Amino acid sequence: MTERTASLFDPYRLGDLTLPNRIVMAPLTRNRAAPGNVASALTAEYYAQRASAGLLISEASQIMPEGQGYQDTPGIHSPEQIAGWKAVTDAVHAAGGRIFLQAWHVGRISHTSLQPGGKAPVAPSAIRANTKTFVNNSFTDVSEPRALELSELPGIVAAYRQAAANTIAAGFDGIEVHAANGYLLDQFLRDGANKRTDAYGGSIENRARLLLEVMAAVIDEVGAKRVGLRISPVTPANDLTDSNPQALFNYVVEKLDALKPVYIHVIEGATGGPRDVAPDFDFDALRRRFSGTWMTNNGYDRALADQVLAAGKADLVAFGRPFIANPDLVERLRRNAPLNELDRDTLYGGGAKGYTDYPKLGTAA
C-alpha cells in the first residue's frame, strides 16, 4: 500500500496542540495598537476572524521600550499590554483558534522619536541601515544606532525571558522569537551588521551566541513545546547581508536542534519578495539538521504548499498577506475560491477599514 502524503488540510500535532490544518497565519505588522502600544478590541476582532488557521502568529511585539521600531506596534512588557493581549487570546480561543505571539527587538531599525528619551537605537555595531521605518504616519530613514556594550547583553536576554513569561500570562499558546528580517538578533547573526571584536562578534559561533542565549532562556522560562523561532537566512530586508549564510545558518540550526524548540519558521528568499534571491542556498540542508517541526514561508499558494508538504520538505506552511484580505483564507484555499484583493493603502495604521472589514465567502463587501 502506498503511504499517503501530507495535505494542507490534514491535522498536525505541534507540541501539546492539535492543529486542525497545516495553514499558519504569518506575523503581519499592521500599526494599529492603542495608546501605550496596547492591543485593542479591534485587534481581538481581527485575529478572531482568522482563527480557522491551524495556528495564528501575532504581529511582532516589542519585548522592551527600546525594542520598538515602528509607530503603534504592540508591546509585551507592561501590565496594560499583557491585559490587552489577554483579550485577544480569549477571543481567538473562543473562536476555536490557537495563537503564538511573535516577540521582537528591532535593534537598529528604529528612529530616535520612538526611543525612550529620544536616544539612539541600539545595534551590535554602530552601522546605520540604509532603510526606512514608519513614524508619524510616513516612511522615514532610520536613525544612526549605537553599539550595545557587552555589559548590556545579559539585559537583552533577560528581557526576552520576561517577554516569554508575559506571553503565557497573556494567554498565548506559545511564543515565536523573531530572529529574521534584519532585526536585532538577525543583526548579531550576520557579518554585514555585526563588526564586534568581543565574544559576540567575528566567528560564526560568536555571532550566534546572543540568539542561542535568548532561545535557551526563553525555553527555560516556558518550555520548549511553547517556543518557536523565525529566521530568514538570505533575505536582504533592512539592509542586511552575510558573507557566508549557508555556513552560518547550518550552524545555527544544528545548535537550535539541541535546544528542541517546537518549530523553526524559515523565510525562503527575500521577505515578501522573490523566492530565488539566493538560488545556491540549500534550504533542505537546514531542514535535515532540525528534528522538530519545519514551517516554511514566502510566496506560497495552495499548489506550492501541497507540493512542499507532499515532498516532506515542510510540516506547516505560513501565509502572510493573503490572510490580511481574506479572513477565511483556509476555506478559500480548500475550495480553490478566488481571493479578495488587498488594499495596500490600509496596510499600515488606521482603523477598521482594510483591517476587519474584508468580506468572507458568501457575504457582500
DSSP string over 37-96: TB--HHHHHHHHHTTTSSEEEEEEEESSGGG--STT--BSSSHHHHHHHHHHHHHHHHTT
Cβ within 8 Å of residue 104, ≥6 positions away:
60, 61, 62, 63, 67, 178, 183, 184
Helix, coil or strand: residue 250: helix
Give the pLDDT of residue 6.
Answer: 82
Q: Which three-class secondary structure state does DSSP give residue 364?
A: coil
Is the Cβ–Cβ distance between 71 and 137 less than 8 Å? yes
Cell triple for 293: 517541526
Which is the catalytic residue, given 12, 160, 183, 200? 183
Alpha-carbon distances, residue 203 vs 10, 107, 189, 223, 246 (angstroms): 42, 20, 10, 29, 14
* Helices and strands: H and E segment counts in the chain: 11, 14
Look at the pTM and tell me if it is higher than 0.85. yes
CB 298 within 8 A of CB 275: yes
In the CATH scheme, what is the code of domain 12-346? 3.20.20.70
> 121 near 107, Cβ under 8 Å?
yes
Q: Which residue has the cell 532561545?
A: 215
Residue type, 348: Y
Helix 41-49 to helix 79-94 angle (10° resolution) is: 30
Contacts of 163 (CB under 8 A, 6+ apart): 61, 63, 64, 76, 77, 103, 175, 218
Query: Can 263 be counted among the known catalytic residues?
Result: no
Written as nine digits, the cell of 164 is 516569554
What distance separates the 2 farthest-apart alpha carbons in the chain? 67
Distance CA 195, CA 204 (A): 12
69 contact partners, CB below 8 Å, separation of at least 6? 62, 106, 107, 109, 110, 111, 114, 121, 133, 142, 183
pLDDT at 363: 67
Cα gap 100→88, rounded to integer Å: 11
CB 215 within 8 A of CB 209: no
Residue 5's pLDDT is: 73
* φ, ψ dihedrals at 172, nearest 5°: -70, 155
Question: Which residues does the chain have with pLDDT short of 50?
Answer: 1-2
